[in-house]
Amino acid sequence: MARVMSPRWTAALLTAVFGLPGIAAANPADEALERSNHFKSIAVQRLSDIQGRVLRERFPPDQRIRIFLDVHMAGFLLEHAEVRLNGNRIAEHDYSAAEARALRDLPETTHAIARSTATRGLNTLEVRYRGRSGTDGDPVIGSYRLNFQKADRGKLLTVPVLPGHTVRDASEPGTAGGVAWQSDPDDARLGMVRLLQATGRPLAALLFLLEISASVADADSLPTGFHTLLARGYIDLGMRDQAYRALADAAEAEEPTVAVTGVAIDLAALEYRHRHVEAALAILENHRDRLTPVHRNDWEELRGRCLLALGDNDRAVGALQAIDWSLEQAPHVHFNLAVALIRRGDDEAGRKLLDRLGRADDSRLGDKANLALGYEYLRAGDGARARRVFARLPWRGPYTSRALAGFGWSELAPLAGDDQQPRETGGIRFGPFVFGASEVRPEEAAARAMSAWDALLERDPLEPAVQEARVARAYTLAHTGDHQGAVADYEAAVDWLAEQRRRLDRLIHDLQRGEHAAALARDEYGALPQTAWLRHTVAESRFRQLQRNYQELRFLQGALANADPYGTRVMQQALSQIADRNLRAAQMLIVEQARRQDQVIDNYILAAHRGRVRLLEEARAARARAPTP
C-alpha cells in the first residue's frame, strides 16, 4: 500500500532527509499541536477506512461509476448542475461562489458530482447545467448526453461543462457537437482535491486523498501530483510531521519541481508561523538549488523574514533586496525591508521606505508603517516630524492607542540634536527616550500632550498605551512646574494601576479555571478586554491553529460517532480529550500574554513611584537650600 497510511514520520527519517532535528514540544501549546497532529492523522485514517468499507458495500467495485465535471470555458461561473443515469436523476448540486470561482480560475480543477452504479453494457449519462458568463452576465444553460460502455470494473468519467451548447449524443468525451474538448486534469480525482483545498475544506480533501491511496496496490501507482497535494493538505491542517513526510515522498516520486518547491515554501511558512524559525530557514536552504523563477521571490521574501526574526539583519536585507522589484510586491515586503534596513543601521533608507508605504497604503499595514516611522523619529529626537506622521493615523484602529501615545510624546520630545542622556539632576527613561528631570516644556506643547493622554484615558484601561498615558499625565504636570499637582497625580496613578492589575489578575484566574472556553471555541471575545495585545494574541498563528484543532478534532469525533458509534468509542474519547487540551492551551496563550501585561503594569507603577519620590526629594532639597529667616 502507499506510504500515506503510516500516521507518523520518525525524527530519524526527518533528520536524514532534511537535516533537521525533531522539534520537541517546549510548552503546552506546542505539545497540544504535536498531539493533535498525531490523533488527527489516526482519526482521519480510521474514518477513511470506515467510509471505504461502506462505499464498497454500497457501490461494488465491478459496478461503480464516478462522474466529474470539468468547466472548460473561460469566464463561466457554474451555478447548478444535474446528473441523470439511464433516465434516473442521481445527483444535483448548487455551486457556492467560492466553488464557481475555483472551477473557473484554477487549472486542473474538477467537481466529483456523482457516485452511482451502472450495469454492464451500454449506458446513457445526461448532465444539465446552468451558470453565468461573468458575475453580472445573463443566465447560460447547456447539456451533455454521453453514451458509454460499462465493463466489469469501475468507471470514472470526466464530463465537460460547455455552456451554451447542447450535445445530444456523444461517445467517450472528445469532440462532440462541433466542440473540441480535452480534459485538463491528468487525474480527475486530483482535480476534486484541488477544488476542496481551494474552497477551505482541508479535512474533506485529505479524506479524498486517502480514498485515492486506498484504491492502488502500491505507492508507484499513485497519480502524478498526489504527494504534493497530500503535503499541501497536511499543511492546511497544520500537521507538520505528516507534511514533511509527504514532501519527501513527492521528491522521491520525482513530481514536478515547481509543485514540490511551492509546497516546500508553504511548509517553511508553516514552521515560521509556529515560531520554528530555524526549521523554516533549513527547509528554504535545502531547496535553494531547486528554485525556479516562479518561486524565487516567495523564497527570498520568506527567507528574509526568517533572518530578520533571527536578528541576522545584514543577510535579511540581502535576501529582501534580491527580490525582483521590477514586479509589484506586496506592501508587507516593503515594510519588512524597511525594518531590516533600520535594524542594520541604514536609518534614512528605512525611513524613506516607511514614509512611502505610510503615504501610499491606506490599509492597516500603512497605519503600521506610519506608527513605526513616527517612533523612529521620536528615537531620533525629531518631535516635529514624529507629530506629522502620527497625525496620519485614523482615530479608530488597532494602532491608534500607540499613535496617541506617540503623539503625546512628540509634543514633549527634545529638538533634533538635543542631548538625550540622563542629566546630573536625575533623569527618567520613560516613553521612547530619556528626558532630563529639570527641563520645563512650553505650556502650549504640554497642553497638547495632555490632550493626547486624556483621549487615551477614555479607552480600555488594560491597554498598555492607556496605562502609559496615566503615568505620563503626572510626568507632564511635573515638567510644566506643577510639582504639587504631579505628586498627587502620581499617587492617583499608582492606585489606578493597582486596580488594573487586580482586574488583570482576575482575568488570569478566570482563564485558568477554564472560563471563557466556550466563547473561545466559537471565536467570540466580547467578554474579554478589547485591547491590542489580546487582538494580537488571538490572531497569532499558534492560537488560530489550536482553535482550528479543537474544531477539527470535534468534527472527527462526531464523524466517527456517526460512522461507527461502538467500534470507535476509545478513539472518540481520545479525540475529545485532545480537543479540550487544545482549547486549554489556547486559553493559556492568553494567560501568558496577560502575565506579560501584568509585568508592564508593575513597571508603570514603579515609574510612578520613582517620579513621585524624585519630586518630593527635589522639594526637600529646595527647602534645604532656601535661606533661613
User: What is the rounded average pLDDT of the residues 308-329?
Assistant: 91
Which among 586, 363, 605, 597 has a CA at the least distance from the CA of 460? 597
Which among 200, 206, 220, 146 has a CA at the least distance from the CA of 177? 146
- Return the H-helix or E-strand segment holding 248: helix 240-252
User: What is the rounded average pLDDT of the residues 207-214?
Assistant: 92
Which one-letter amino acid corresponds to residue 381?
Answer: G
Exposed, middle or buried, 319 (CB in 10 Å: 0-12/13-18/19+)?
buried
What tens digit of pLDDT does each residue of 71-83 get? 877 788 999 999 9
What is the per-residue pLDDT for 23? 38
Is pLDDT at 181 greater than 60 in this prediction? no
3-state secondary structure of 238: coil
Query: Under a CB-based contact definition with an 8 Å cutoff, are residues 596 and 531 in contact?
Result: no
Q: Give the DSSP per-residue string, 426-437.
A: -EEEETTEEEET
What is the per-residue pLDDT for 16? 29
150 compared with 287, residue with greater pLDDT: 287
CA dihedral 214, 216, 218, 220 (to 10 degrees): -130
Helices (H), 345-432: 347-360, 364-379, 383-390, 400-412
What is the per-residue pLDDT for 124? 92
User: What is the rounded average pLDDT of the residues 458-478?
Assistant: 92
Return the minimum-mean-pLDDT range out of 198-202, 243-247, 520-524.
520-524
- Beta-carbon count within 10 A of 477 CB: 22
What is the per-residue pLDDT for 429? 43
User: What is the rounded average pLDDT of the residues 527-534?
Assistant: 89
Is pLDDT at 387 greater than 60 in this prediction? yes
Average predicted confidence (pLDDT) for the chain: 86
Query: Under a CB-based contact definition with an 8 Å cutoff, are residues 575 and 560 in contact?
Result: yes
What tens digit of pLDDT does each residue of 405-443 get? 998 988 887 644 444 433 322 333 444 444 433 344 467
Is pLDDT at 133 greater than 90 in this prediction? no
Query: Under a CB-based contact definition with an 8 Å cutoff, are residues 263 and 228 in contact?
Result: yes
Spatial neighbors of 15 by CB under 8 A, at least 6 apart, are 21, 22
**Residue-level length of the chain:** 629
Is pLDDT at 40 greater than 90 in this prediction? yes
What is the per-residue pLDDT for 179? 55
Q: How many CA atoms lie within 13 A of 446 on its CB side?
A: 15
Query: Under a CB-based contact definition with an 8 Å cutoff, are residues 69 and 128 in contact?
Result: no
- CB burial of 275-293 (b: ≥16 within 10 Å; e: otherwise) equals bbbebbbbbbebbeeebee
Spatial neighbors of 278 by CB under 8 A, at least 6 apart, are 310
Distances (CA, A) of 210 to 7, 43, 215, 222, 560: 12, 12, 9, 11, 16
Is pLDDT at 313 greater than 90 in this prediction? yes
Q: What is the band of 1 on the pLDDT scale with cuts at 50, 70, 90? A: very low
- Beta-carbon count within 10 A of 175 CB: 10
- Beta-carbon count within 10 A of 551 CB: 16
Which among 331, 256, 265 has a CA at the least distance from the CA of 298? 265
- Beta-carbon count within 10 A of 42 CB: 16
* d(C-alpha 210, C-alpha 207), whole Å: 5
User: What is the rounded average pLDDT of the residues 552-573?
Assistant: 93
What is the per-residue pLDDT for 424? 29
Residue 106 grid coordinates: 484554477
What is the per-residue pLDDT for 349? 95
β-bridge partners, 81: 93, 129
Return the minimum-mean-pLDDT range out of 61-70, 172-181, 331-340.
172-181
* d(C-alpha 233, C-alpha 552), whole Å: 14
What is the per-residue pLDDT for 393? 87
What tens digit of pLDDT does each residue of 98-120 get? 999 999 999 889 999 999 999 88
User: What is the rounded average pLDDT of the residues 245-273?
Assistant: 94
The pLDDT > 70 percentage for the chain reads 88
Q: Helix and strand tally (H, E) in the chain?
A: 23, 12
Long-range contacts at 484-488 (CB < 8 A, ≥ 24 apart)? 486/611, 486/612, 486/615, 487/612, 487/615, 487/616
User: What is the rounded average pLDDT of the residues 47-70?
Assistant: 90
Residue 395 grid coordinates: 482615530
What tens digit of pLDDT does each residue of 189-209 get? 999 999 999 999 999 999 999
- To the nearest 10 degrees (0 to 180), the angle between helices 240-252 and 28-58 is 60
User: What is the rounded average pLDDT of the residues 294-313?
Assistant: 95
What is the per-residue pLDDT for 426? 33
What is the per-residue pLDDT for 176? 52
What is the per-residue pLDDT for 396? 82
What is the per-residue pLDDT for 15? 31
Residue 560 grid coordinates: 466517527
Residue 517 grid coordinates: 472556553
Which one-letter amino acid corresponds to residue 189?
Answer: R
What is the per-residue pLDDT for 418? 42
For strands 121-133 and 76-85, give the pairing: antiparallel
* d(C-alpha 197, C-alpha 99), whole Å: 10
494 compared with 29, residue with greater pLDDT: 494
Put simply, whether the predicted model's pTM sits higher than 0.95 gets the answer no
What tens digit of pLDDT does each residue of 85-95 get? 999 999 999 99
- Cα separation of the two ends of the chain: 103
What is the per-residue pLDDT for 154? 84
Exposed, middle or buried, 459 (CB in 10 Å: 0-12/13-18/19+)?
middle
- CB burial of 398-429 (b: ≥16 within 10 Å; e: otherwise) equals ebbbbbbbbbbbbbbbbeeeeebeeeeeebbe
